[in-house]
Each structure stands twice: as C-alpha cells, then as structure tokens.
Amino acid sequence: MTRGRLRPRVVFAFVLALCWAIQSMAGEWMPLARDGIHDPKSRAVKILQQPQEALSRLTPDNAGNQVRWVQALDKTEIRPREKLFAKTEVRKLDRDIILDVKGGMPAVRFPHRQHTEWLDCVNCHDGVFKMQTGATKITMFNILQGEQCGICHGAVAFPLTECMRCHSIAKGDKQPVIPPDVNMQMHRSRGPAP
Ligand code: HEC
Ligand code: HEC
Ligand code: HEC
C-alpha cells in the first residue's frame, strides 16, 4: 500500500524538479567544461571566455541560445567584422518576401535585411533558393527535415519552435476583426471574468 501512496508523490517531486531545472536554465549557459563539446581536462577550458560571461550582456531571448541576435547586432552590442579581405564586396539587400501558406497559418515574412547583415547572397542563391519569389517550393516538411530555412533555423539560428517569428503576417495582411456584439471581457484567454 505504501507504494501506491508514494508513487504520486515521487511523480510530483519529479515534475517539480523538472520545472525547477527548466526555470533555472533560463539566463544561464553551460560552462565549457560541461558542454559536451570541450575536453574538460584541457587547459584551454580555464583560459577561454565562458559563454555566461560573454552572452549574458546581450539582448536576451527565451529560445535557442538565449540571445536575440538580430537585436544585439542592430543595437551594436556586437560588431562582427564584415570581411577578411579589403577587396571582398559586402552585399546587402533590404527586401521582405511574403510567402502565403494554405490553411489557417499566418503567412511567412522572410526579411532579406536581417539575413544579409550576417550572410552573403551565395549562402542561399541560387543553391537553396532561386532569386525569384515563388520559384522554390518551400514546405514546412522540408524545413523540419533540416532543409531550406531549416539548414540554419534550429541549427545556428533561432529554433523552429518559434513559429510566429516566421509566420508573422496575419492572413490577407489584415488584423482579425472582432464582431461588435462580442464582449471581450468574457473572452479573455485565462482567469475568471471580472
Ligand atoms: C538566408 C537566405 C537568403 C539570403 C542570404 C539571400 N536571399 Fe534572396 N531570397 C531568399 C528567399 C527565401 C527568397 C524567396 C524565394 C522563393 O519565394 O522561392 C529570395 C528571393 C530573392 C529575390 C527575388 C525577389 C523577388 O521580388 O522576386 C532576389 C532578387 C533576391 N532574393 C536577391 C538576393 C540578394 C541580392 C541577396 C544578397 C544581398 C540575397 N537575396 C540573399 C533567401 C535569401
Ligand atoms: C543560411 C542560413 C539561414 C537560412 C537558410 C535562413 N535563415 Fe533566417 N536567419 C538566419 C540567421 C543567422 C538569423 C539571425 C539570427 C537569429 O535570429 O537567430 C536569421 C533570422 C531570421 C529571422 C528573424 C528576423 C528578426 O527580425 O528577428 C526570421 C524571421 C527568419 N530568419 C526567417 C527565415 C525564413 C522564413 C527562412 C526560409 C525562407 C530563413 N530564415 C532561412 C539564418 C538563416
Ligand atoms: C524559420 C521559419 C519558420 C518557422 C520557425 C516555422 N515555419 Fe512554417 N513555414 C515556413 C515557410 C517558409 C513555409 C512555406 C511557405 C510557402 O508555402 O511558401 C512554411 C509553411 C508552413 C505551413 C504550410 C503547410 C506546409 O507544410 O508547408 C504550416 C502549416 C506551417 N508552416 C506551420 C508551422 C508551425 C506550426 C511552426 C512552429 C512549430 C512553424 N511553421 C515554424 C517557415 C517557418
């Protein structure tokens, strides 16, 4: 009988521990010696800058490696060197591509500016994407397989769980219209009506 009483408690303690672990991960980075990439016995581990020290100063994010990189660059919190060789031409483009999707999911806005701040055109053109809107068939399936946008997103750029960061355009570019007879006080997502 004790087993029967113990189990829910064990489960509860486990869930609590898990919540705590996830909570305490926010705003914290794994030390190099424990990141599973660096050799903990190497002397370099004591010399190299720890991620916590470098990254905690940048605009925070709640996903990926916890830095909102586009904002960190825009606010010049970081100033990466644009090129190694003086003769390299730096190409940038400020053009948004809107990709509408079938069904209820909001359309995708692909911003060239934010990408060409980091990447040269050849990273995408004409290999991954053709230089013509709609010419490449892009699907969520391919992306989740690590192709197309998924070559980088979920690997080196923000993860695919952040759906709305890509699907950021409401259908037909219109805000959802609330009919006049709907009482918004009664339609709040959480908590009792006042
Ligand atoms: C991170 C990937 C990426 C990078 C880097 C990139 N593009 Fe694109 N580009 C795209 C995607 C995605 C599309 C839309 C493709 C589609 O709809 O099939 C596109 C479309 C285009 C188009 C067609 C626009 C239109 O109106 O039809 C042009 C032109 C273009 N890109 C030029 C460039 C240039 C010039 C650069 C470098 C300065 C560049 N792109 C860098 C991903 C990229
Ligand atoms: C070659 C790599 C690469 C590819 C391919 C790529 N991205 Fe990105 N993307 C990045 C990087 C790097 C950033 C900046 C870092 C970050 O935000 O995590 C970024 C940022 C973004 C942002 C954030 C802009 C902001 O203002 O915060 C959006 C939206 C985005 N990408 C959408 C897409 C979509 C949609 C596709 C596919 C059509 C795509 N990306 C393909 C590398 C890529
Ligand atoms: C990195 C950007 C990005 C992220 C993050 C992302 N999507 Fe997509 N999604 C796309 C692009 C690009 C397309 C293809 C648009 C087109 O049809 O040209 C797409 C297409 C879709 C479609 C249309 C059907 C299909 O299979 O192509 C659905 C549904 C969808 N996404 C759901 C999601 C959901 C749910 C999430 C979060 C779990 C998500 N997406 C996250 C970029 C993204």
103 vs 3, higher pLDDT: 103
Q: Are 108 and 98 in contact (CB under 8 A)?
A: yes
Q: Tell me: the pLDDT tens digits for 41-67?
A: 999 999 999 999 999 999 999 999 999
Question: What's phi and psi for 136, nearest 5 deg?
Answer: -100, 130
Q: Are 131 and 93 in contact (CB under 8 A)?
A: no
Name the pLDDT band for 28 (thresholds 50, 70, 90).
Answer: confident
Chain position carrying tokens 């709040």: 188
Residue 97 has what pLDDT? Answer: 95
Query: 69 pLDDT exceeds 90?
Result: yes
**Does the beta carbon of 149 sit less than 6 angstroms from any atom of ligand 2?**
yes
Least Cα distance to 112 among 124, 95, 131 occurs for 95
- Three-class SS state of 20: helix
Q: Tell me: the pLDDT tens digits for 173-192?
A: 555 444 444 333 333 333 33
**Does the beta carbon of 169 sit less than 6 angstroms from any atom of ligand 3?**
no
Question: What's phi and psi for 43, nearest 5 deg?
Answer: -70, -30
Q: Model's pTM, two decimal places?
A: 0.84
**Does the beta carbon of 112 sit less than 6 angstroms from any atom of ligand 2?**
no
Q: For the domain 86-173, what is the CATH superfamily, name and number?
A: Cytochrome C3 (3.90.10.10)
Tell me what the pLDDT averaged over the chain comes to: 83
Ranges of each domain in the chain: 86-173
